[in-house]
Amino acid sequence: MEKNKEYQVLLYYCYAKIENAEEYREQHHLFCVENNIRGRIIISDEGLNGTVSGLKEDCEKYMAYVHSDPRFAKTEFKIDSHETHAFAKIHVRYKPEIVHSSLRHLDPNVKTGKHLEPEDFRKLKDEEDVVILDVRSNYEHELGHFKNALTLDIDNFRDFPEKVKELEHLKNKKVLTYCTGGIKCEKASAFLLEQGFEDVYQLHGGIIKYGMEAGGEDFEGKCYVFDNRIAVDVNKVNPTVVSKCHVCGTHSDRMVNCANPSCNIHVAVCEECGWELEGACSTECKVHPEKRPYDGTGYYQKQSNGYNPYKGLQRSPKKEKQLHGEAANS
């Protein structure tokens, strides 16, 4: 019997200038705490980037809160149903960029690749003069990618600009970029244009929206996501498994983090090997003195001294009383 999916997971980003980013981070964090929103949110001078979870009604309040600010009115949310929170905590952090790219000089609101809606991407991707370019990291595209996609050997998106040097021979092609939710493509496609590529597109809303609106056709494997689900199904048309167990080599789309925190690599490990190695990726990691207890999921919350949702809030005594439900004038 299918579980009740009373919660939602929201994936979103918005490139928009924030003059008072650190002050806004405080306000945004407080709203999340007061409305039981959990997840990871980055606030930057160049915009917002987040994945959050909450009860459906709380998520609706959160989306309304974001849209109520004129700076973020255009924000598009990818909404997925879930049985419970996809996060244990709320982290709202200020960072120089909303995705670390080493391309701070590029503003996607000024120039970026042409946005393709999922159905348009589906129709265009198999044309003869088209190259489908995955701009994600190795552990992401190894778990799942579009059929015939060109993948890059990068561990972090900040390595993307260096790899573009290897793509010079594709400048006369239509280049269709894609990523998880669309955010990396905004700067990846802008950088390609800057480097002289003329016909550059991006999958609007990324793999997640493509699965929701175009059935995920020809996306092979699963999509890596940055919450405790780790990986999600995308393809409802012609699904397949492309990733292999890091240990034994059998086909497996069961993604884990190595139980050894000093390693912590993201790899596919089949259930049998997972239990045999107690969540580790190798015998060496299995015997590591700091190895974390394995519960069969391969997902580990960051260590903390108990869940403190108020961590990071700069609270005045008055605000602290209000947060704890005390009278402001007591």
pLDDT digits (tens, 9 = 90+) for 228-260: 888 999 999 999 999 999 999 999 999 999 999
Task: Write down the pLDDT at residue 2.
Answer: 46
Task: Write down the pLDDT at residue 228.
Answer: 86
pLDDT above 60 (res 37)? yes
pTM over 0.85: yes
Residue 299 banded pLDDT, cuts 50, 70, 90: confident
Please tell me the CATH code under which domain 114-224 is placed: 3.40.250.10
What's the CATH fold of domain 7-94? Alpha-Beta Plaits (3.30.70)
Count Cβ atoms below 10 Å from residue 202 Cβ, excluding itself: 29
pLDDT above 50 (res 271)? yes
Spot the catalytic one: 14, 59, 179, 223: 179
pLDDT above 80 (res 304)? no
47 dihedral zone (left: phi>0; alpha: psi -120 to 50; beta): left
Lowest average pLDDT, out of 53-67, 82-96, 313-327, goes to: 313-327
Query: Across residues 151-177, what is the average pLDDT?
Result: 96
> What is the residue type of 138?
N
What does the domain layout of the chain look like in residue ranges?
7-94, 114-224, 244-299
Report which of 95, 101, 202, 198 is spatially closest to residue 154, judged by C-alpha positions: 101
- Known catalytic membership, residue 179: yes
Task: Write down the pLDDT at residue 270.
Answer: 96
Task: Write down the pLDDT at residue 98.
Answer: 96
Cβ contacts of 193 within 8 Å, gap of 6 or more = 111, 112, 113, 200
pLDDT above 60 (res 308)? no
Residue 305 banded pLDDT, cuts 50, 70, 90: very low
What's the N-to-C CA distance of the chain in angstroms?
A: 50
| The token pair that represents 232 in the structure block | 């999600």
Q: What is the DSSP string of 44-106?
A: ETTEEEEEEEEEHHHHHHHHHHHHHSGGGTT---EEEEESS-S-SSEEEEE-SSSS--S-TT-
pLDDT above 70 (res 318)? no
> What is the residue type of 29?
H
